[in-house]
Structure 1
Amino acid sequence: MIKAFVAENDRLRLVGDLAAEKDRVVWIDLLGPTKDEEDAVERLIGIGIPTREEMEEIEISSRLYVEDGAFVMTATLPAHADGDRPEMLPVTFVLAGHRLVTIRYHEPRAFQTFPMRAEKADLGCTSGDTILVSLLEAIVDRLADVLERGSREVIDISQDIFHSKEKKVSDRDRDFQEILHRIGSKEDLVSKIQDSLLTLQRLSGFLANFVGRDPGDKEIRARVKTLSRDVTSLSDHASFQTQKITFLLDATLGMINIQQNAIIKIVSVAAVVFLPPTLVASVYGMNFDVMPELKWFFGYPLALALMVVSAVLPFWFFRRKGWL
């Protein structure tokens, strides 16, 4: 699918026929393009656009390069990032003259919200480079929103770990299982956002070397520098979130170990407490003909009292030592 936009009064307007408006088009957005659509755009901009396989290459030379005066830049962006399992696919930006061409195979939120804002508000979208910078700013804002949501959820997880409302051991076990699942989901989300920010950091550095080279384009250069600083700041924040998630994972495993050790301690103490009574009962349960205590009138209550005392004394000793 092809979406073509023209600039009118510093705003973008979607046009239905690319061929009829080809001289005025400043942004061409390709979503899952067919071969015919790729050929039509290549004839218009005069260079070949990368295929999906080429977009998925990870080496920098395949993602950031100059071809016949056009700048080709590829970044990995998330889609459906409102959940914990965003779809991560590459998006290519081709800055050819006064036109911007974007090639993508999924629906990042910024590609839905930015055209609507640029159509209603004056964002200064007059050419390909201004559109590219504004679009990248919208993408970074979206990633910041995703990270903020993840940060709030990480705080909620921390509260659930250290301030659990459940008192029963079985309920806490179920809570910890759920918490481990939530921690894994947040780690996956943050790591994907980090990967996206890394590609945007490289892209912004590459773009800063070429965009706004004319003396009158100081504003564009300043916006690109601000964009690069924002990406770096978000990357640092994502690294902090990764460390926080790792700490919460270690803390959860530690709480599980403490809980298991408490259960084992109770079982061990119970075994030690009931060991002396078991020994007494075993002695008087032996079948020998000569056992003087068998003829005693108070033999039975004495054996019971001995078992009770032998159980109470270890329990009292453990409590005094603070082991219980």
Structure 2
Amino acid sequence: MLKAYSSVSGHLEPHDGAPEDFADAIWLDLLSPTREEERAVEDGLGLSVPTRADMEEIEVSSRLYAEDGTYFMTAILPAYTDADDTEMAPITFVLSGDHLITIRYHDPQAFRTFATRTQRADVGCTDSETVLIGLLETIVDRLADVLERAGGDIDTLSHDIFQRPDNRKAPKADFNATLKALGRKGDLNSKIRDSLVTLERLSGYLGHVTLQRASNRDIRDRVKTLGRDIRSLADHANFLSQKITFLLDATLGMINIEQNGIIKIFSVAAVIFLPPTLIASIYGMNFAIMPELHWAFGYPLAIGLMVASAGGTFFYFKRRGWL
């Protein structure tokens, strides 16, 4: 799908379908484009649109490069970030003269948000550079929202792990569910960190591009601010990663404590019933001469010794604080 936008008094006005003259379009957004749409852009602007395989190259030189005054910049961005099942895919930003071309095969919310906002308000989208920087700023804001939501969810999990009420009637903590939730948050945070790394490289390269294109000072300042925002988000993502690791270790520790408590109960029970078992074993021997066998109080005495030995062991453990 090809969407084209023109700049009108700082707004972005969408075209109905593909434009007849690409010179009027300031932003061309290619979402899962067909080969015909790629050819139309290539013929209209005289450039080569990178393929999906080109966009997925991991080398920095394949993601950030220039050809005949046209600058190609690729970053890995997440989509469907409202849930933890996030889709990651590369998006290429092509800065060619007075045109910005974006090539993507998934639909991050930031693109829809930016397109809607620029149609409603004057956000200063007067040329390709201001459109690119405004789009990147919207992407960074979206990543900040995702990290903020993830941080809130992690705080909730931390509260559930460490601040459960010491009440027997309180519901028992489901540490299996907690581990799964922490794993999902860790996976989401890892994906956001990967995206921020590619965006940080892109912002650094974009700063070089603005110098090559002799952009005005306001553009260069916005690029520097964008880079600082990305680095601060990367630091926050690293902090969340450390917190998730700590909570995972703490959850495993809680599981070990519960398991140790269960083993402790069985161990204490085994020790408590050891003396009665010994007494029962003695009087279960098949010897002909055992004085207590024909004694009228032999049976009550044996039962009393078993109860007394079990009770004595129990109260000894209780006094020592082992129970």
Class of the TM-score when normalised by the shorter of the 2 chains: over 0.9
Answer yes or no: is the 8 Å Cα contact 1:166–1:172 preserved in 2: no
Counterpart residue number, 2:298: 299
Pairwise CA distance, 1:21: 3.7
Aligned length: 323
**CA 1:166–1:73 in structure 2 vs 1: closer, same or farther (change >3 Å)?**
farther
Residues 93-147 of structure 1: CA deviation (Å, up to 9, x unaligned): 0000010000000100011110110111111101111100000000000000000
**CA 1:289–1:216 in structure 2 vs 1: closer, same or farther (change >3 Å)?**
closer
Counterpart residue number, 1:321: 320
Distance 1:207 1:243 in 2: 30
Q: Which amino acid aligns with 1:232?
A: R
Same amino acid, percent of matched pairs? 56
**Residues 179-190 of structure 1 mapped to structure 2, 5 A cutoff:** 179-190=178-189
Residues 46-82 of structure 1: CA deviation (Å, up to 9, x unaligned): 2211100110111101100011111100001111100
Distance 1:207 1:53 in 2: 23
Q: Which amino acid aligns with 2:54?
A: E
Counterpart residue number, 2:142: 142
**CA 1:72–1:303 in structure 2 vs 1: closer, same or farther (change >3 Å)?**
same
Pairwise CA distance, 1:164: 2.6
Distance 2:74 2:135 in 1: 14
Pairwise CA distance, 1:17: 4.5
**CA 1:66–1:216 in structure 2 vs 1: closer, same or farther (change >3 Å)?**
closer
Give the match's secondary structure for 1:5.
Answer: strand
Q: Which amino acid aligns with 1:10?
A: G
Pairwise CA distance, 1:44: 2.0
Answer yes or no: is the 8 Å Cα contact 1:84–1:185 preserved in 2: yes
Distance 2:171 2:295 in 1: 52
TM-score normalised per structure 2? 0.96
**CA 1:90–1:216 in structure 2 vs 1: closer, same or farther (change >3 Å)?**
closer
Give the match's secondary structure for 1:49.
Answer: coil
Q: Which amino acid aligns with 1:45?
A: L
**Residues 66-145 of structure 1 mapped to structure 2, 5 A cutoff:** 66-145=66-145
Counterpart residue number, 2:226: 227
Answer yes or no: is the 8 Å Cα contact 2:19–2:25 preserved in 1: no
Q: Which amino acid aligns with 1:265?
A: K
**CA 1:205–1:269 in structure 2 vs 1: closer, same or farther (change >3 Å)?**
same
Pairwise CA distance, 1:274: 0.3
Consecutive unaligned residues in structure 1, runs of 5 or more: none
Pairwise CA distance, 1:5: 0.4
Counterpart residue number, 1:198: 197
Q: Bigger CA drift: 237-246 or 13-22?
A: 13-22
Counterpart residue number, 2:156: 156
**Residues 213-252 of structure 1 mapped to structure 2, 5 A cutoff:** 217-252=216-251
Give the match's secondary structure for 2:76.
Answer: strand
Give the match's secondary structure for 2:172.
Answer: helix
Counterpart residue number, 2:51: 51
Pairwise CA distance, 1:320: 2.0
Pairwise CA distance, 1:318: 1.4
Distance 1:144 1:91 in 2: 19
Answer yes or no: is the 8 Å Cα contact 1:77–1:108 preserved in 2: yes
Pairwise CA distance, 1:300: 1.3
Pairwise CA distance, 1:171: 5.6
Distance 1:168 1:283 in 2: 41
Pairwise CA distance, 1:214: 6.3
Residues 154-192 of structure 1: CA deviation (Å, up to 9, x unaligned): 00000111123585699636x111101100110011000
Answer yes or no: is the 8 Å Cα contact 2:21–2:44 preserved in 1: no
Q: Which amino acid aligns with 2:119?
A: E
Distance 1:168 1:4 in 2: 63
Q: Which amino acid aligns with 2:120?
A: K
Distance 1:180 1:171 in 2: 17
Pairwise CA distance, 1:216: 6.5
**CA 1:268–1:60 in structure 2 vs 1: closer, same or farther (change >3 Å)?**
same
Give the match's secondary structure for 1:88.
Answer: strand
Answer yes or no: is the 8 Å Cα contact 1:29–1:101 preserved in 2: yes
Q: Is 1:261 the equivalent of 2:263?
A: no
Distance 1:292 1:264 in 2: 40
TM-score normalised per structure 1? 0.96
Answer yes or no: is the 8 Å Cα contact 1:15–1:21 preserved in 2: no
Counterpart residue number, 2:63: 63
Q: Bigger CA drift: 10-19 or 267-276?
A: 10-19
Q: Bigger CA drift: 37-46 or 74-83?
A: 37-46
Give the match's secondary structure for 2:57.
Answer: coil
Consecutive unaligned residues in structure 2, runs of 5 or more: none
Pairwise CA distance, 1:301: 1.4
